[in-house]
Structure 1
């Protein structure tokens, strides 16, 4: 009787973790992430790669949202407006200051592209925002 109980205990100890792991894995393979009208949006647990998740996170980062907004503003209006808004954003959110140089360079390159390679015209909008990063961006294209 004692051997039967041991054998049963060993079998149970081996099978139980396997069953728990499999049932847990199956439970998360279909998770509704968003409510839709048809409830058809279901994502499997392994559908997105780490690169895709990292790219989405980067796309949602505050500095990337600011960069996108300022680049769009530069295209719609002029580089001066975008640089002024960059300066205002840096004053409002000092945590973004470490991205200021990168954003200003992007604006400089975009200004050259907007004026079809006319670096002189793009450079005329230069302001002392983030040191000389805008001018560096303009010069890097020309």
Structure 2
């Protein structure tokens, strides 16, 4: 009887080391994500040494109102323009939207959604035909698509 000194392999050259490697490749990233998440929740980011861990249920109402008042710039702009649309007309609001995007290019990615919101609001305030008369090519004619979406 002849004995082989070479490594014993399973079918198609896949041995136990490969299976262990695959298992680690799948499990290790999950473990690292969870351990990193837990570590971040334990870090005192506030600088207040008296409360090292603050959970969402422990947040005071003043903290919540402070966070709510510091809203995103695009939300503040949208609300301002919607008020302007009602007080003046959609043309003025669209002009100010175009100026705001020109002055702050970071708002450009929100321009389409703001212009559509203005179009929908214009239909509610002025009706479809009159709202469409204010359309202009701001943010790829998103105002007009907002008017059309609200009308149908």
CA distance in 1, matches of 2:144, 2:77: 19
Matched, 1:85 2:100: no
Structure 1 segment 1-142 matched on structure 2, within 5 A: 27-28=50-51, 45-47=58-60, 56=68, 60-115=71-126, 118-142=127-151
User: Does the CA-based 8 Å contact 1:28-1:45 persist in structure 2?
Assistant: no
Match of 2:33 in 1: none
> 1:28-54, CA deviations, whole angstroms, 9 ceiling, x for partnerless residues?
39xxxxxxxxxxxxxx84346xxx68x
CA distance in 2, matches of 1:114, 1:120: 11
RMSD value, Cα? 2.6
Describe the shift of the 1:45–1:28 C-alpha distance in structure 2 as closer, same or farther (beyond 3 A): farther
Secondary structure of 1:97's counterpart equals: helix
Structure 2: gaps (5+ residues): 1-48
CA distance in 1, matches of 2:150, 2:108: 24
Greater Rg by CA: 2
Give the superposition deviation at 1:61.
0.4
TM-score scaled by length of structure 2: 0.57
> 1:85-111, CA deviations, whole angstroms, 9 ceiling, x for partnerless residues?
001001100011000000000000010
Secondary structure of 2:91's counterpart equals: helix
Structure 1: gaps (5+ residues): 1-25, 30-43
CA distance in 2, matches of 1:73, 1:113: 14
Give the superposition deviation at 1:63.
0.5
